[in-house]
Structure 1
Amino acid sequence: MGPARGKMGGQHPSRGGLSPITLETDMNNLQPYLIESAHPQTYNFPRLKHLPVREQPVFRVSKDSDACSLAELLAVIIGGSNQIESAEQLLAQFGTIQKIAQAHVNEIARVPGISNLTALRLKAALALGRKLLQPEDERPTIHSPGDAAQILMPMLAHREQEFMVVMPLDTRNRMLDVIEIYHGSLNSSMVRVGELFKPALQRNAAAILIAHNHPSTDPTPSPEDVSVTRAIVQAGKLLDVSVLDHLVIGLSRWVSLKEKGLGFS
């Protein structure tokens, strides 16, 4: 055991620049979530039980969540006496937070110490994080494929199935909405062009931008993607609605079919 820490309410200032009164108040507020260090350090007890309260994930997150590790942040969501071990096993099994976000609830719940309800909480927390990256309720102007990708990547990059969305635009290329049209395996025989243009016609849009994701995480356009794009562009000419672009979204990359000259010739 190291040297004794200063007692709360005593003469010695507490560590970390907190006054004794502030630290005592913080610990009282967090007491329902903290676990007393009541056991000697052995392999028989969860590590949380022999961590000083100021080193437990819930206390560290309460003081500065940005300074916490992924394991600590996950541990607070997981909760329970084995939260640290479960968080570390979760990261060991999936490797990255992106892979956890892609995983199905049932896959996450197979990790020891994580119930179905906890897995749902994890999925919800990660979904909230993605929504935080989305722009606020305003009408951004799409000047380039990158502008559209910045909006669409958080919506599509981590989906487990293939989704197609349409973004209607006004005459100044301002986004009017993003509407999900299809999900599943997309091909030219199932994509009904009229469904893609319906949101644009309902909103009197001047143009649309379409996008879909590749769950494989590789955004390289397939021949089917090019075929679908060609059919949509031709339909747009008949309806007098421009097709601004078709983006294919991967995990961390995207491809503009228009920039590649695929389906827009």
Structure 2
Amino acid sequence: MKKTLSQHVREQLLEYGVNRSELPGLISTIVGNLPDETLNQLMCKNIRELSGLTVEELKGFPGMGKNKASRLVAAFELSRRLARFISAEKTIIRDPRDAASLVMEEMRCFNREHFCSIMLDTKNQVIDVDKVSIGTLSSSQVHPRELFRNAIKKSASRMILVHNHPSGDPEPSREDIEITKKVSDAGCLIGIEVLDHIVIGDGKYVSFKEKGLI
């Protein structure tokens, strides 16, 4: 019986090791057997595109199903969390470039707007990066109470707002400016200073602090 492409690449992974495996082998090992058609369609996308697919989007591929789609999405989410943890560990934010570098590689890949906060202590050392909300292709709804809930819980003294523009253009919108003012005012009331708002594009960023907008 002829082997499927999924079976073939999994066998190669077992023989040569995970570190030397190509993307098809890794995907097939995570999700199990897939029709050749589906695996070939997935390979037409780069890893950035694959990492941004949702469970609902992946379910549309023949032979994928909800369980396999969930395993693949979970694997990408695990890798993002590990990257964020390693980047944030004992990191001190000295300027906007430090803040942007902390989240750039993760957030530039998202195909929807994600709004996060970088929580800092009194020495500007990163406590955590909190993913507050996920929006659409062009906007993300966020409320000050959602931003400050975990900051208060983790005793953060300062905060840097971060969100991405899936278009790749980090130029702030009018809505970005309005929400920044609203959050900054709320921070003043509860004693958590909003130091900056970083908008992430494709390999570039805009800092509200550098532009004099905060």
RMSD: 3.2
Q: Which has the higher contact order (CA 8 A, sep 6+)?
A: 2
Aligned residues: 209
CA distance in 1, matches of 2:69, 2:153: 39
1:72 aligned counterpart, secondary structure: helix
* Aligned-partner Cα distance in 2 for 1:166–1:153: 13
CA 207–60 in structure 1, closer or farther in 2 if over 3 Å, else same: same
The answer on 1:109 being equivalent to 2:59 is: yes
Equivalent residues in 2 for 1:33-72, closer than 5 Å: 38-39=1-2, 46=4, 56-62=8-14, 63-72=16-25
Q: What is the DSSP-based 3-state SS (H/G/I as helix, E as strand, rest coil) of the residue aligned with 1:178?
A: strand
Q: Distance in 2 between matches of 1:81 and 1:211?
A: 37
Report the structure number with the largest CA radius of gyration.
Answer: 1
TM-aligned CA distance change 1:135 to 1:227, over 3 Å = same
Map residues 1-265 of structure 1 onto 2, 5 A cutoff: 38-39=1-2, 46=4, 56-62=8-14, 63-80=16-33, 82=35, 84-92=36-44, 95-136=45-86, 138-153=89-104, 156-159=107-110, 161-184=112-135, 185-186=139-140, 192-193=143-144, 196-201=147-152, 203-237=154-188, 241-250=192-201, 252-261=203-212, 263-264=213-214
- 1:194 Cα deviation after fit: 5.4
Distance 1:252 1:59 in 2: 36
TM-score by length of 1: 0.64
Q: Would you identify which runs of 4 or more consecutive aligned residues in structure 1 move more than 6 Å?
A: none
Structure 1 unaligned segments of length 5 or more: list them.
Answer: 1-37, 40-44, 50-55
Gaps of 5+ in 2: none
Whole-angstrom distance in 2 between the partners of 1:183 and 1:114: 24
TM-score by length of 2: 0.76
Structure 1 CA distance, aligned partners of 2:183 and 2:168? 24
Looking at secondary structure, tell me which structure has more strand per residue. Answer: 2
Offset of residue 73 of structure 1? 2.3
Please state whether the residue corresponding to 2:11 is helix, strand or coil. Answer: helix
Sequence identity of aligned pairs in percent?
A: 33
